[in-house]
Every structure is written in C-alpha cells, then in structure tokens.
C-alpha cells in the first residue's frame, strides 16, 4: 500500500516552497527494500517516522541540497515520511548560505537548524500540526532582502523553453559572461547552469512519463529536443539510474524525487 499527498504552502511561503508532501508505505514483509532517488532540480527536507506507534516519533530527518547523481538506499519496508520540496533558490534565500555548500550533501535537521527540531516535532499529534510547525519556522526565515530576482527569472526562463534553451542564450539574455552566470548559479542554486538545464529537461520528461501523455518514449525524446533516442536513454540513466522504460514503470508516486 502506497499513499501520498501534496500540500500547498501558504501564500507567505509559496515563493520558497513548491509543496509539502506526505508518503506512507506499508508492505507485507520485514526485509529492507530499495528506495531510489533521481536527480531533481530542487533541494528539500525529509522527516521519516517510526510506524506502528500512536504518536508521530521522528526516526530521522535531513535537509538535502541539489544533487548531481541518483542514489539507491535500503529502507524499512513500511514507513511514513513528511517532506518539503523547496524552490530551486530557497537554500540561499531562506538560510543565507552558499547553496553549493549543500550540493550532494545530507545534513540532519537538528544539526543544520541548530535547534532540537526532532524533539519539537515529536510533541505534535497530527501531520497538519507538524506541517504547521515547519511552516511557522520557515516563514520566520524568509527575508525579501535575500531574494535574487535575476536568478528567479532565469530559472523560470529555463523552464519555459526547456527543450531548446542553451547557456549561451542565457548569457546573451542577461548580459553576463558564462563565468559570471556560473558563479551566480553555484551560489544561489548549487549547480552550474548547464547541469540545471539538463536536470530541468529531465524533469520535464518525467512529467510526461508520469502523465503517460505520449504513446512512445521516443516521442518524448523528440518533443524535448534530445539529439536522438540514444542520447535520451543515456541522460535518463545518468540522472535516475534506470532506463526510461523501467523508470516509467516505477513512477507509481510522483512526490519529490523518490522512486519506489
């Protein structure tokens, strides 16, 4: 049994958070099973809870930055998780740190926030209560003076033209050298513009796979302007660890960057 829910943030947080999410997995086995993640275009946070108890008790929690390669881990066959999927620029704007410092990193929330966050969460009785605590804390971190309007516009520009956009086009549009643009991206997003464009196009392909809006996967490769089908297959494997066909068959739950 797999249940998930997407929860929209309040108006104050919508420019920093794409959504909150919950994922409950119950399997009739005691053997740990693999949980994969694909390379996403956004950082996030996850709190995993022990199951089989009346109260919500956090088993582990983490904040993660941008990633450049997929992961494969083993986990309990049954679990409940609550997460936050941030906007791409949120690490720099909310927490005031260079986003590249968190690229490919996972840090315990208590350690990162420098407060007993696990203890605070464990006192809450319902999922809405936990999300309310998260929202309250993150809203308190929001500071409009940290916003980078150019980067925000650049990310939106990439997503509107994800099939054809190039780094040169971005440089010309924003009148920056490639080195200047790369420096801005590494600080605000955590990865280079080239990597972000590759990931954004891959995410667009995942959306099409999940919607099953195309009869053939090769049609997705054509629609998103991959050089050829072999290029499309190679990019999907590099960013998810799976072939396009296998990835599509595993997209039962489109929440954050999790592949069950």
User: pLDDT digits over 36-95, tens only?
Assistant: 899 999 999 999 887 665 566 788 899 999 999 999 887 777 788 999 999 999 999 999
Residue 32 confidence (pLDDT) above 60: yes
What is the pTM assigned to this prediction?
0.92
Residue 56's pLDDT is what?
Answer: 67
**Percent of the chain topping pLDDT 70:** 97
Residue 142's pLDDT is what?
Answer: 84
What span, in angstroms and rounded, lies between the C-alpha atoms of 177 and 257? Answer: 32
Residue 52's pLDDT is what?
Answer: 60
Per-residue exposure over 82-99, b if at least 16 CB sit within 10 Å of its own CB, e if not:
bbbbbbbbbbbbbbeeeb
Residue 34 confidence (pLDDT) above 80: no
Alpha helices for 47-192 (secondary structure H): 90-95, 109-113, 117-122, 127-141, 149-160, 167-174, 178-188
Q: Which tens digit of pLDDT belongs to each residue from 113-144? A: 888 888 888 888 788 999 999 999 999 888 88
Residue 196 confidence (pLDDT) above 70: yes
| 51-60, 100-109, 236-245, range with the lowest pLDDT | 51-60
- Of 209, 189, 200, 192, give the one whose Cα is nearest residue 259: 209
Angle between helices 193-211 and 178-188 (to 10 degrees): 60
Residue 253's pLDDT is what?
Answer: 63
Residues 6 or more apart whose Cβ sits within 8 Å of residue 36: 70, 71, 72, 73, 240, 241, 242, 250, 258, 259, 260
Q: 177 φ, ψ to 5°?
A: -75, 165
What span, in angstroms and rounded, lies between the C-alpha atoms of 169 and 132? Answer: 41
Mean pLDDT of the chain: 90
Q: How far apart are the first and last CA of the chain?
A: 11
What span, in angstroms and rounded, lies between the C-alpha atoms of 134 and 106? Answer: 18
Residue 54's pLDDT is what?
Answer: 57
Cα-atom radius of gyration of the chain, to the nearest Å? 19
């Amino acid at each position: 049994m797999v249940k998930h829910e997407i929860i929209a943030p309040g108006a104050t947080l919508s420019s920093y958070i794409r959504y909150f999410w919950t994922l409950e997995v119950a399997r009739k086995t005691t053997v740990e099973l693999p949980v994969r993640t694909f390379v996403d275009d956004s950082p996030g946070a996850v709190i995993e809870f022990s199951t089989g108890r009346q109260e919500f008790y956090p088993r582990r929690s983490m904040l993660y930055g941008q990633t450049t390669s997929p992961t494969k881990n083993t986990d309990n066959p049954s679990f409940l998780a609550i997460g936050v999927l941030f906007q791409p620029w949120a690490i720099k704007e909310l927490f005031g740190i260079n986003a590249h410092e968190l690229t490919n990193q996972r840090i315990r929330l208590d350690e990162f926030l420098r407060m007993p966050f696990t203890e605070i969460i464990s006192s809450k009785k319902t999922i809405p209560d936990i999300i309310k605590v998260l929202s309250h804390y993150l809203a308190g971190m929001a500071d409009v003076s940290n916003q980078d309007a150019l980067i925000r516009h650049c990310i939106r520009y990439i997503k509107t033209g994800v099939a054809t956009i190039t780094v040169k086009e971005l440089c010309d549009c924003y009148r920056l050298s490639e080195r200047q643009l790369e420096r801005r991206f590494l600080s605000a997003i955590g990865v280079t513009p080239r990597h972000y464009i590759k990931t954004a196009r891959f995410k667009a392909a995942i959306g099409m796979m999940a919607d099953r809006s195309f009869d053939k996967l090769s049609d997705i490769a054509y629609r998103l302007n991959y050089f050829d089908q072999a290029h499309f297959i190679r990019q999907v494997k590099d960013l998810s660890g799976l072939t396009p066909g296998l990835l599509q068959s595993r997209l039962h739950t489109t929440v954050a960057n999790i592949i069950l």
